[in-house]
Amino acid sequence: MQALKRHIDDVRLGGATQPSKGLNIGLWIAQGLLTLSLVGGGFWKLGTPISELAAKMPWMGEVSPGFLYVTAAFDILGGLGVLVPSVTRIKPGVTMLAALGCVALMACAIVFHFSRGEAANTPFNFLLVALALFVAWGRHAKAPIAPRA
């Protein structure tokens, strides 16, 4: 029975019983960058007057305040979701789900900006998509975090 469990773990981890240290470090860096970007951006949207936001990014003054604040809340939740469960090892599988949620959020942002003729505003969104996909893949398939015992 123990051999079967070991085999299943080997298959789940791509044949390696222990993920590479470099991959694990890269995942932690990606999770930290996503958290910093999303949580920081979310609090920036919530804490800065809309007129100041609109001076930097005109779309923020052209949408309803409710829409802007909902996007800020999703940014904060997504940013916390990709890091906190892994750090605390409480329900670490939520990290992968939060990363996929961040992919969906950024995909919506990309579509929003393209629909408004603001394609020049999307490179950072594409970077966040790449980071979030890396985290989702890595924390699900290659270097999952074990839950707290």
pTM surpassing 0.85?
yes
pLDDT, one tens digit per residue, over 10-64 is 545 555 468 899 999 999 999 999 999 999 999 999 999 999 999 999 999 999 9
Sequence ranges of the domains in the chain: 34-142
SS3 letters for 72-135? HHHHHHHHHHCCHHHHHCCCCCHHHHHHHHHHHHHHHHHHHHHHCCCHHHCHHHHHHHHHHHHH
